[in-house]
Amino acid sequence: LVSDGVSVLVLLDLSAAFDTVDHGILLHRLENWVGISGTALNWFKSYLEDRTYFVEIGNCVSDKISMTCGVPQGSILGPVLFNLYMLPLGQLINSNNVSYHNYADDTQIYVSLTAGEHGSVDTLCHCIEQISLWMQNNFLQLNSDKTEIIVFGPQTQRQSVISHLDCVAVQGVAGSPWRRSQTVSPKSSCSITLWLCICNTHNISPHQLHQPPSVPSVPSAPSVPSAPSAPSVP
């Protein structure tokens, strides 16, 4: 976050991301981006291909259908392979001088700007256009209905940035209304524990926070009287 400035965070949402991974593109990533070849590459090829699925309801079972795309979900390799599939996306975002965090199908991009500056917002929107196009070329679908924008900063500056966002047409995203959070409350956006960590990082004084409701203490169990000692034997 920029002191006395505004930060714009975009939470990108993908539709059924793990199910649409193209096997040919993924194998190309493994060979040309990671350096896997020969027998090891054939292992991955056999892991991905020749899989089938069917639906069973009671005693009714559908025909088996071959899976021509997607990575096995619920597996250890699933998110790892998806991360490798997404490798060029990080390079694309970096080329726009936009900060980002990415793991599997969870991608967050953000910029910080000073008061009255809109250039970084234009750069961010241009980056989103490129991301949308890249995803189309890689058989991924950016879900504009669930893509969210959160603007952090003083209210007057937030409103200026939001008004500018309304004037910017973002191909592939702005056709559907973006979900925006204009008034970000620490209490509603993250747990009080996480917010305390963020505040400590940015040296925000504790009195600026809403204190969490106190948790009533659980009454202790009544003490059990000790059994009388046995009389001594004469």
DSSP 61-125: EPPPEE--B---TTSSHHHHHHHHHTHHHHHHHHHTT-EEEEETTEEEEEEEE-TT--HHHHHHH
pLDDT confidence of residue 80: 93
Token digits for 91? 């390079």
In this structure, the dihedral spanned by the alpha carbons of residues 40, 38, 72 and 83, taken in order and rounded to 10 degrees, is 90
42 pLDDT more than 90: yes
* 158/10: higher pLDDT: 10
Q: Which residues pair with 61 in a beta bridge?
A: 56
The contacts of residue 159 (CB under 8 Å, 6+ apart) are 182
Q: Is 223 helix (H, G, I), strand (E, B) or coil?
A: coil
130 pLDDT more than 60: yes
pLDDT confidence of residue 15: 87
226 pLDDT more than 70: no
What's the whole-number average pLDDT of the chain? 76
pLDDT confidence of residue 193: 37
- Residues 147-175 have pLDDT tens digits of 888 888 777 777 777 777 765 545 445 44
The contacts of residue 193 (CB under 8 Å, 6+ apart) are none
32 pLDDT more than 50: yes
What phi and psi, each to the nearest 5 degrees, are found at residue 172?
85, -10
pLDDT confidence of residue 231: 55
